[in-house]
């Protein structure tokens, strides 16, 4: 341990004091590229898919080699939680960054703002752009240029255990108020808790906020909105759900705990996204795959909404193999690969034409999530977009543990936003 500490102390010193001292040169990556019209060299791809998805993605990514035999695809799975920081370290230090990065929708503007991404307009990476869903394109643009190609689109839905709700004799709740009422019946009849509430991840706060007609910021008029009435109400909703025992929550390990609770049938419902469909179906509560139902996220007192999310593919501006990287992005974002992704993982395509394919059309999850995605709320695609979450997380924890009142939490979040966004009101 003490050795560890000394290492950590050194790291803290080095990291804390000399963050910019990492500008050492180097970088790997194959040379090559566009020799005589045929692509060659290596394309390193950082994929952020989860454990249930990664084997499929590796196969799909390596499928590129069939079309371009001289190109070697180096597939690297980087856990979602570390991916943003890892890419920034590598790209900023100009050492070890991948050629192609799977970028979360909120990361594109951030990375592009720092100069890390190659603009894709006019390159082979963008193919048949008219085919993309308009809402999927929003996050790929920053200051008039396109920095990514949409890969998958998603939003949150309410996953529910059909059997538990039936045993309790309750309908799928349409609002969080209905959910709170149904919770007593569910507990009494089945012993299960109604909802697992992700108290550890601020992304899950958005449905509560949108349900009250609020938003984090208004990027057009440059106004911080989270500390108005809607923000306070949203904090109140999560607090009362947990206090009334309608929901259970955690401040850490929410992803694992939520999935486990859902799989084991200890909770009847959870707000989750399509990326956990495969994971949930692996649980004992869903041995009969039909037992997993998905409904729109419950609404608040005035509205209903869930955030639009998803993943894009971006090319690192310092890539040594730009041509092959563009081609790889084109391939991974193509209708064919999107269709295969959907067949294997039920993830939602970003191309209109893929939704016309019968196999995709008849996919139960697509039938649910497509309308949900169409109605999903787009976030402000600003460079600081991703930084807006951390203050919410801190305050959400505080509200749920009783360390702050909903009013204090909303105000503190707003103050943190104004610190980040210097020109906002």
- Which residues contact another protein (rule: CB under 8 A)? 1-2, 4-6, 8-21, 23, 25, 27, 85, 88, 91-92, 94, 110, 113-116, 199-200, 248-253, 257, 260-261, 316-320, 383-384, 386-387, 390, 393-395, 397-398, 400-401, 403-404, 420
Output the furthest CA–CA distance in the chain (Å, rounded).
72
Question: In terms of CB distance, is 67 or 253 closer to another protein?
Answer: 253
According to DSSP, the residues that pair with 420 across neighbouring strands are none
Question: In terms of CB distance, is 13 or 359 closer to another protein?
Answer: 13
State the minimum distance, in angstroms, from the CB of residue 131 to another protein.
30
Question: In terms of CB distance, is 254 or 375 closer to another protein?
Answer: 254
State the minimum distance, in angstroms, from the CB of residue 277 to another protein.
22
Strand stretches in 243-287, DSSP E: 247-249, 267-272
User: What is the DSSP secondary structure assignment for residue 117, as one 8-state letter?
Assistant: B
Question: In terms of CB distance, is 213 or 318 closer to another protein?
Answer: 318
Q: Can you tell me which residue has the tokens 């695809």?
A: 73
State the minimum distance, in angstroms, from the CB of residue 362 to another protein.
36
Question: In terms of CB distance, is 11 or 367 closer to another protein?
Answer: 11
H or E segment and range at residue 3: helix 2-17
In whole angstroms, give the CA distance from residue 378 to residue 386: 13
Question: In terms of CB distance, is 101 or 357 closer to another protein?
Answer: 101
State the minimum distance, in angstroms, from the CB of residue 310 to another protein.
19
Query: Length of the chain in residues, anyone?
Result: 425
Q: Which residues does 72 contact at the CB level (< 8 Å), separation at least 6?
A: 30, 41, 42, 43, 65
Give the pair of three-digit tokens for residue 379.
């976030």
State the minimum distance, in angstroms, from the CB of residue 196 to another protein.
9
How would you classify the pairing of strands 267-272 and 217-218? unpaired
State the minimum distance, in angstroms, from the CB of residue 396 to another protein.
8
Which among 330, 346, 386, 402 is positioned nearest to 150, based on CA atoms? Answer: 330
State the minimum distance, in angstroms, from the CB of residue 270 to another protein.
13
Give the pair of three-digit tokens for residue 252.
């850490």
Question: In terms of CB distance, is 47 or 99 closer to another protein?
Answer: 99
In whole angstroms, give the CA distance from residue 22 to residue 37: 37
């Amino acid at each position: 341990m003490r050795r560890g500490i000394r290492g950590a102390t050194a790291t803290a010193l080095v990291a804390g004091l000399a963050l910019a001292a990492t500008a050492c040169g180097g970088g790997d990556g194959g040379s090559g590229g566009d020799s005589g019209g045929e692509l060659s060299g290596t394309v390193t791809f950082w994929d952020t898919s989860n454990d249930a998805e990664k084997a499929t993605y590796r196969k799909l990514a390596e499928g590129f080699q069939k079309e371009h035999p001289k190109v070697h695809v180096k597939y690297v799975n980087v856990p979602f939680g570390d991916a943003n920081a890892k890419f920034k370290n590598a790209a900023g230090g100009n050492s070890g960054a991948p050629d192609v990065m799977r970028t979360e929708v909120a990361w594109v503007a951030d990375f592009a703002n720092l100069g890390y991404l190659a603009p894709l307009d006019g390159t082979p990476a963008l193919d048949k752009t008219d085919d993309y869903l308009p809402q999927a394109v929003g996050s790929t643009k920053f200051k008039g240029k396109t920095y990514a190609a949409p890969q998958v689109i998603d939003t949150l839905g309410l996953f529910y255990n059909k059997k538990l709700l039936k045993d309790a004799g309750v309908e799928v709740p349409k609002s969080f108020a209905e959910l709170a009422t149904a919770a007593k019946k569910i507990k009494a009849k089945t012993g299960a808790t109604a909802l697992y509430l992700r108290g550890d991840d601020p992304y899950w706060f958005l449905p509560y906020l949108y349900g009250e007609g609020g938003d984090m910021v208004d990027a057009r008029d440059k106004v911080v909105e989270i500390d108005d009435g809607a923000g306070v109400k949203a904090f109140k909703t999560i607090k009362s759900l947990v206090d009334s025992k309608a929901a259970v929550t955690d401040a850490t390990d929410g992803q694992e705990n939520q999935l486990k609770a859902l799989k084991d049938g200890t909770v009847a419902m959870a707000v989750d996204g399509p990326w956990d469909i495969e994971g949930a179906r692996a649980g004992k509560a869903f041995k009969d795959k039909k037992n997993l139902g998905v409904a729109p996220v419950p609404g608040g007192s005035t509205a209903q909404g869930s955030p639009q999310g998803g993943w894009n593919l971006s090319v690192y501006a310092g890539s040594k193999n730009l041509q092959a990287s563009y081609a790889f992005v084109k391939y991974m974002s193509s209708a064919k690969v999107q269709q295969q992704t959907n067949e294997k993982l039920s993830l939602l395509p970003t191309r209109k034409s893929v939704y016309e394919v019968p196999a995709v059309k008849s996919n139960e999850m697509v039938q649910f999530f497509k309308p949900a995605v169409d109605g999903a709320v787009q976030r402000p695609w600003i460079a600081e977009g991703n930084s807006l979450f951390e203050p919410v997380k801190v305050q959400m924890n505080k509200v749920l543990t009783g360390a702050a009142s909903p009013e204090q939490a909303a105000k503190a979040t707003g103050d943190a936003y104004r610190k980040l966004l210097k020109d906002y009101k």
